[in-house]
Structure formats: C-alpha cells, structure tokens
Amino acid sequence: MSRAQPIAFIWREVDVVEADGEVVRTRAMVPLPRYRNVAQRQFGEGGEHVLEEVSERSMASHNQYFAALKDYFDNLPERIQARFPTPEHLRKFLLIEADWFDEREFEMESERHAKALATYIRTEDTYARIAVRRGKTVIVRKAKSQSLKAMGKADFEASKRAVLELAEQLVGVPRGVAMKNAGRAA
C-alpha cells in the first residue's frame, strides 16, 4: 500500500442525491480540482475517513530556528563541544532537556539483557537518551519530531522557544538573544 498523499479540500455547499432520488443540499469537503484524481484513488466511495486539520507554520520561523541553533552550535563553549558533534545532536539534546520527548520503559529479565538492549537502541538512534535503572529497567527518551507533519504551528513555536532558551543558557548569552537574533537570520 502506498503512502497517502495530503489533499487540499474546500468546505462548501453541495447537492447530494439520496437513495430515493431526493436532492438534499448539504456541506461537504470537496477536493480542489488538482487533487480530484488522487482523492478518487485514495478514498473509496462510502468509506469513512478521519479529517485532521494541519496548521501551516511559517517557513521563515522554521529557518530562523535552525539558523539560531547553528549559531549556538558554532559558539558552544570548548568544554562541551565534544558532547555535540553536530547541530542535530544539540537540537535533540535540548528538545529532551525541555521535556519535548517520548519515553518508553523496558523491563528486562537481567542486567545483561538490559545492557544489550541499551546498546542496540544506541545503534538505532544516536540521539536517544538511554538509562538503565535498578539494573534491569531500560528507559529511552527520544526527542519529539519537529517535522511539519508531526508538529503543528503552536507546538513547533513552543518547542522552538524552549530549545532556544536552553541554548542561551548552555552558551552563556543573555536571555532573549536567541529569539532576537533568530529574527535577523531569516
């Protein structure tokens, strides 16, 4: 099964012919003309589908955020530079620090199994924060995705603000500088 393609719709009044032939005026989501064929392929007639609104976020804000993060990465204090080999490592670390993460716990049979699982997870995700507690419990925290699909505008802006505030503290610049400079970077 191929991945579903996003389709733009417009909410409008339409005439619907009922089973008995009666025409009823109602409102419906009608695909924009350029999406009609895709909509016909993806959605079977009479099928039920969930509609979820996706709020568009500003690409300027997105670009500002990543430019500011790159600046902070380039200005990390020498004592912690080795801890963050790339701006992506820094971003994901800060997302987890700011509580923008998903967490899973795995209760293992033994300490050896717990260490093996932790090692495996590390090979699958170099950004995850992994801890082994009480010898047999593996706790994995993974930064939430900030992709357009995964995070709407409000969550993106909140996570962006939290990450940049922590970056300011890490680099040692006055509060608010990141957001101000991010505006200039776009």
Q: What pLDDT is recorded for position 185?
A: 47
pLDDT of 56 > 70? The answer is: no
Q: Are residues 9 and 82 in the same domain?
A: no
Q: Are residues 45 and 72 in the same domain?
A: no
Q: Which two tokens stand for residue 85?
A: 């080999």
Q: What pLDDT is recorded for position 9?
A: 86
**Between these two residues, 46 and 99, which has the higher pLDDT value?**
99
Dihedral-angle region of residue 65 (phi above 0 means left; psi in -120 to 50 means alpha; beta otherwise): alpha
Q: What pLDDT is recorded for position 47?
A: 81
Q: What pLDDT is recorded for position 32?
A: 87
Cβ atoms of 43 and 35 closer than 8 Å: no
pLDDT of 107 > 60? The answer is: yes
Phi and psi at 5, nearest 5°, equal -95, 135
Q: What letter does residue 186 receive in the DSSP assignment?
A: -
Among 52, 72, 92, give the residue marking a domain's end: 52
Can you tell me the distance from the alpha carbon of 58 to that of 56, in angstroms, rounded to the nearest whole number? 7
Q: What pLDDT is recorded for position 80?
A: 93
Domains in the chain: how many in total? 2
Tell me: the pLDDT tens digits for 12-50?
A: 999 989 989 999 999 988 888 888 888 888 887 778 887
Residue 59 burial (C-beta neighbours within 10 Å; 0-12, 13-18, 19+) = exposed
Tell me: the pLDDT tens digits for 73-95?
A: 999 999 999 999 999 999 999 99
Tell me: the pLDDT tens digits for 109-118?
A: 999 999 999 9
Q: Are residues 63 and 48 in the same domain?
A: no
Q: Are residues 88 and 70 in the same domain?
A: yes
pLDDT of 182 > 80? The answer is: no
Q: What pLDDT is recorded for position 149?
A: 78
Q: Are residues 150 and 133 in the same domain?
A: yes
Tell me: the pLDDT tens digits for 135-176?
A: 899 999 999 999 877 888 889 999 999 999 999 999 987 766
Q: Are residues 106 and 166 in the same domain?
A: yes
Q: Are residues 26 and 70 in the same domain?
A: no
Q: Are residues 79 and 167 in the same domain?
A: yes
Q: Are residues 27 and 69 in the same domain?
A: no
Domain hosting 144: range is 59-185
Among 35, 52, 69, give the residue marking a domain's end: 52
Q: Are residues 95 and 30 in the same domain?
A: no
Residue 92 burial (C-beta neighbours within 10 Å; 0-12, 13-18, 19+) = buried
